[in-house]
Amino acid sequence: MTHLDGNAIAGVLEQLFGRDLTLASSRCTGCGAMREVADIHVYRSAGIVARCPDCDTVLFRIVEARDRMWLDFRGFSSLQVRS
């Protein structure tokens, strides 16, 4: 399955967090790599799955159905946002 990058879901993340997160630095729980959200690998099908470009760990999942969203961000050990 081909992937997109984090820029492809900038709008969804901004809707959730109220700000542009594409330049935020995320740390992967799998390998510890620090990456800008714009650089992560994104797969879209029934929902959104984001994976670490270095070790393929699932960083987060977002599933949207009717009036609800399910969020699982367990693959981020931290997310550093510029103030």
Query: Of 9, 48, 50, 52, which one interacts with Zn ion (CB under 5 A)?
Result: 52
Q: Using the rule CB under 5 A, is 54 a contact of Zn ion?
A: yes
* 28 is a site residue for Zn ion (CB under 5 A): yes
Of the candidates 31, 34, 63, 81, which one interacts with Zn ion according to CB under 5 A? 31
| Nearby residues of 70 by Cβ (< 8 Å), 6 or more positions away | 47, 61, 62, 63, 64
The answer to whether the beta carbons of residues 62 and 47 sit under 8 Å apart is yes
Chain contacts with Zn ion (rule: CB under 5 A): 28, 30-31, 33, 52, 54-55, 57
